[in-house]
Structure 1
Amino acid sequence: MRRACTYVLGASSAIALLAFAAPAHAQGAEVNPGSGAPGTAITVTDGGLCAGTSASATSEAFGTVTLAGTTSMSGQGTVANVANGSYAVKLTCGNGKSASGTFTVTGSTTASTAPSTSTTAKPSGGVAAGGGGTQGEVSAAGLAAGGAFLAAGVGFGGYALRRRVSGRPTA
């Protein structure tokens, strides 16, 4: 019983500590929403990649969108009347960096022709996996707090295991 309790306590402590850890900040072209019909309003963000320089995102799905901002740049556009399918999004920053992403057109009444995709283009930038609640800057205080919680959990786990071992009767 005591061993099972130690394992459960250790696992739950590790899970709780990981929840407090600071999230990674993805950089790259992100289109929100990730899919839509012609006429849908979209927002393109750079995930902090361009850092206040000029930036634009281009796609056959919505044309060219100019991004503006300081630390994280964004811009709005509208989905064009194009065929259903997945379209490449190319983000170009004024500081020389670039990234790519995708946007999926759904519900189009345009004749179904496959979107043209370049087979010579190499992916760059981060995965457009969405920011959700993790969107924003990572602070040093948050990293320090997460590290302190993680160190405390490891220390407590070691103490619990050491105490369990030293409490055994010897034969």
Structure 2
Amino acid sequence: MRRACTYVLGASSAIALLAIAPTAAHAQGAEVFPGSGAPGTSITVNDGNLCAGTAASATSEAFGTITLSQGTETMVGTGTVSNVAAGSYAVRLTCGNGRTASGTFMVTGGTATATPTTTATAKPIGGVGAGGGGTQSDISAAGLAGGGALLVAGGALGVYAMRRRGMGRHTA
């Protein structure tokens, strides 16, 4: 019976991990650092390993088109926020391997006098040290509740199995 309990707990843990696995897949895509800025702000765009080293470009009304080149770990490119009105702007990443992704960039503040630069002038060294990026926004209450329910159910089943086994030994 102890072996059966181990299998039940192992299976419930695996199910819980599978329930949260789709969240990691959403981490791939257009990542803009910083996530917001005024016109004239220098930005960096990376592909989050979506393009797998193929040609890539990021396009937005906020900064025009940025051509990404191979960095240490991801495809990256730099540019400058254009002289546009404050607001949220869509960012579209297009890979040479046919994959696409989207993101957003928030333009803040007034207008700029700098001329936008939209192509990478030098290959960046290393990745962007910016933490998890936009992965926090992919967390849903339903996903967390479902994962928690699976863990609680697995624990309760394990306790039930252990108590039932212990009850069978007491004979008078």
TM-score normalised by L of structure 1: 0.54
**Could you say which residue in structure 1 is the equivalent of 2:50?**
49
Question: Take 2:165 and 2:55, find their aligned partners in 1: how far apart are those partners?
Answer: 63
Q: 2:82 aligns with which of 75, 80, 83?
A: 80
Flag the 1:134–1:92 CA change in 2: closer, same or farther, 3 A.
closer
**Could you say which residue in structure 2 is the equivalent of 1:6?**
none
Map of 1:139-150 to 2, 5 A cutoff? none
Flag the 1:134–1:62 CA change in 2: closer, same or farther, 3 A.
closer
* Unpaired stretches in structure 2, ≥5 consecutive residues: 1-8, 113-129, 136-153
**Could you say which residue in structure 2 is the equivalent of 1:132?**
132
Check whether the contact 1:59–1:87 (CA below 8 A) recurs between aligned residues: yes
Structure having the larger proportion of residues in helix: 2
SS at match of 2:24: coil
TM-score normalised by L of structure 2: 0.54
Identity among equivalent pairs (%): 63
Question: Take 1:131 and 1:55, find their aligned partners in 2: how far apart are those partners?
Answer: 22
Check whether the contact 1:24–1:134 (CA below 8 A) recurs between aligned residues: no
Question: Take 1:102 and 1:134, find their aligned partners in 2: how far apart are those partners?
Answer: 10
Map of 1:50-129 to 2, 5 A cutoff? 50-69=51-70, 72-109=74-111
SS at match of 2:28: coil
Flag the 1:134–1:163 CA change in 2: closer, same or farther, 3 A.
farther
Per the TM alignment, residue 157 of structure 1 is displaced from its structure 2 partner at its CA by 6.6
Per the TM alignment, residue 158 of structure 1 is displaced from its structure 2 partner at its CA by 5.0
* Unpaired stretches in structure 1, ≥5 consecutive residues: 1-9, 111-129, 136-153
Per the TM alignment, residue 72 of structure 1 is displaced from its structure 2 partner at its CA by 2.1
SS at match of 2:49: coil
Runs of 4+ in 1 over 3 A off after TM superposition: 156-160, 166-170
Question: Take 1:159 and 1:49, find their aligned partners in 2: how far apart are those partners?
Answer: 40
Per the TM alignment, residue 78 of structure 1 is displaced from its structure 2 partner at its CA by 1.3
Question: Take 2:108 and 2:134, find their aligned partners in 1: how far apart are those partners?
Answer: 27
Question: Which amino acid in the other structure matches residue 84 of structure 1?
Answer: A
Q: CA RMSD in A?
A: 3.8
Per the TM alignment, residue 134 of structure 1 is displaced from its structure 2 partner at its CA by 10
Question: Which amino acid in the other structure matches residue 88 of structure 2?
Answer: S
SS at match of 1:50: coil
